[in-house]
Amino acid sequence: MIIANLGVRERWARYTTVAITAGAIVLVAFSALSGLIAALPGGSLRSLAPALILLLASALGGSLLATPVRSFLARKLPFDAESPVVLLALVGVILVVGEQASYQAGHDALAAVGKAPQLQPLDVVLQEIPLLLLAIFSVGLFTRRSPAAVLERLGIVRPALWQLLVAAAVAGAFYAVSQGGQHLQEQLDPALARRLEESTSHYYAAIAGVFGIAVIALAPGIAEESLFRGALQPRLGMVLAALAFTAVHTQYALTIDTLLVFTLGCGLGAVRRFLNTTTAITAHAAYNALAGIGIPTFLWPAGVGAEVALLILAGLAWRLARPAVFKA
């Protein structure tokens, strides 16, 4: 990403970025073809699916090397078709989404999560640091922008009190939707719902107590929102950013929870679009904290009442502040 940002002004860096991007596409395509050749003799569509998905991803990524293709997309999305940063980001998102879709098609993700070592608070921090670094360097820290300009580009600002109220209301709404999604999963496929519960309970068993919940709330909230909503969304749009966000949450396999992650990504994208990334960070962190703590069944009536009150207050605050929001 540093070279790509230098490529905005330096020709050598632009060509280097294109070469690196093309090389990554070729490697993915070669991996896909190797898998396809290995699976072809007597292979079923299910066994061929992982390689076919990777092949499709590499083909889509390869098409983006053509400037006319990026120019067409630039009519729909607010980016510069000539930018090497945009090229690398677009291809990167497509390859990551393709790789994760290929993995889900060829592996039992829930079984893998259920056998994996339990996630520790330090693991969470170490997983999120690369995303945060990618966010700040992808928008040109020390190459095109100063630290203050980076924060502005990422949408990280000091929030107003009413925006924190909106974040709390959004987090409560997300929590209610997630609980509804889990209930729906139990109704549609009880066995799959049990496997999902067992694998995630095992994986997150060590994330407990005030410290663990604080880490699982703050680290993903800050890093993931900075990258997906702060850096990616303003250039690639809400849907692609939400897809990339979903792709890094593979522990839920192909379940309703994965659809809920995408919905959460779109909801946080709306918060970023109409307010700022700081509010999205706050909403994400508050949601993770709620999910970590949990709300006992006997407290649900009180929780619903509190959420309704929050939504009303947030709506009133939004209505009063709306002219200022759109002016900004």
Domain extent at residue 22: 1-107
Number of Cβ atoms within 10 Å of the Cβ of 5: 24
Q: Residue 34's pLDDT band (boundaries 50, 70, 90)? A: confident
Instruction: Round the CA-based radius of gyration of the chain to a whole number and report it.
Output: 21
The arithmetic mean of pLDDT across residues 299-325, rounded, is 81
Q: Give the contacts of 88 (CB within 8 A, at least 6 positions apart).
A: 1, 4, 17, 20, 21
Supply the pLDDT for residue 173: 93
Q: Which residue has the tokens 């060590």?
A: 206
Q: Are residues 127 and 172 in the same domain?
A: yes
C-alpha torsion angle, residues 267, 272, 278, 280 (rounded to 10)? 0
Taking alpha carbons only, the member of 88, 64, 110 closest to residue 16 is 88
Residue 145, SS3? Answer: strand
* Domain end call among 83, 107, 131: 107
The arithmetic mean of pLDDT across residues 25-35, rounded, is 88
In angstroms, the CA 42 to CA 294 distance is 48
Q: Residue 108's pLDDT band (boundaries 50, 70, 90)? A: confident
DSSP E strands: which ranges in the chain?
Answer: none
Question: Above 60 in pLDDT, residue 60?
Answer: yes
In angstroms, the CA 202 to CA 125 distance is 19
Lookup: tokens for 169: 């209301």
Question: Above 70 in pLDDT, residue 327?
Answer: no
Q: Which residue has the tokens 């400037």?
A: 67
Buried b (16+ CB within 10 A) or exposed e, 79-107: bebebbbbbbbbbbbbbebbbbbbbbbbe
pLDDT in tens, 166-221: 999 999 999 999 999 988 988 988 898 898 888 888 888 888 889 999 999 999 99
Supply the pLDDT for residue 79: 82
Q: Are residues 48 and 93 in the same domain?
A: yes
Q: Residue 44's pLDDT band (boundaries 50, 70, 90)? A: low
DSSP 274-299: HS-HHHHHHHHHHHHHHHHH---GGG
Q: Is residue 84 part of a domain?
A: yes
163 in Cβ contact with 274 (< 8 Å): no
pLDDT in tens, 228-280: 999 999 999 999 999 999 998 877 777 888 899 999 999 999 999 999 999 99
How many residues can be counted in the chain? Answer: 328
Q: Are residues 151 and 292 in the same domain?
A: yes
* Domain end call among 58, 86, 107: 107
Q: Are residues 41 and 135 in the same domain?
A: no
Number of structural domains (the chain) is: 2
pLDDT in tens, 143-177: 989 999 999 999 999 999 899 999 999 999 999 99
Q: Is residue 291 part of a domain?
A: yes
The arithmetic mean of pLDDT across residues 121-138, rounded, is 95
Q: Give the contacts of 110 (CB within 8 A, at least 6 positions apart).
A: 195, 196, 199, 253
Q: Are residues 79 and 10 in the same domain?
A: yes
Q: Give the contacts of 307 (CB within 8 A, at least 6 positions apart).
A: 169, 172, 173, 176
Q: Is residue 112 part of a domain?
A: no
Secondary structure percentages of the chain, helix, strand, coil, to 5: 80, 0, 20
Q: Is residue 317 part of a domain?
A: yes
Q: Are residues 84 and 122 in the same domain?
A: no
Q: Are residues 91 and 127 in the same domain?
A: no
Residue 116, SS3? Answer: coil
58 in Cβ contact with 25 (< 8 Å): yes
* Domain end call among 107, 140, 163: 107
Q: Are residues 31 and 94 in the same domain?
A: yes
pLDDT in tens, 266-294: 999 999 999 999 999 999 999 999 998 88
Q: Are residues 155 and 285 in the same domain?
A: yes
